[in-house]
Structure 1
């Protein structure tokens, strides 16, 4: 569930990745209030993975990559320019693409590097 500020709401209340006052917590750049978006940490939380895992999935989704047949949803843009503009290297996704992102994680949850290893069966050590 998204909060009013576009962050992901956790089970017990506001999520770890809410962006107070529309400021990206990592770069410190302003995030336009009228542009609902998911940043890398928000997307990682949707999949229950680390932001680094999302970054790897994006890299591996390129032509010839491990996920080229079922690529991770392409970011809608990049943010994080030193001037706070909507240009930079940090990807963002429109918040209305949440279902597509969650569906990708669901389809790829047992792949190595996406959500960890599958749990061992009862008989395995």
Structure 2
């Protein structure tokens, strides 16, 4: 039985450099099937938060999926966890998703201010 997490770094961005992505971990005894699933579906990008959430819900119901995590990232920020199926991270994801949705409602989904907020949120006291 194999399980893997996809790499968190990939290209692609919307107008202000915001991108959403879903990482999927699979469980399968057949190496060839596991390889195909991981290569093609282990890391999926979405254009909007709604698309990312829909992908997350789709994958979490599949019997071969062991875990799903959904992130948002700006050009300058670290990945910011929005949703997860891993019990030890659910509370953190719920808090961060709530904060992110509040920031969207105040700053606007396509504003440079949202990217700046995300950068500050993910770097904390580093600067």
TM-score, L = length of structure 2:
0.28
Q: Between Structure 1 and Structure 2, which shows a larger proportion of helix residues?
A: 2
What TM-score do you get using the length of structure 1 for normalisation? 0.28
Higher strand fraction (1 or 2) = 2
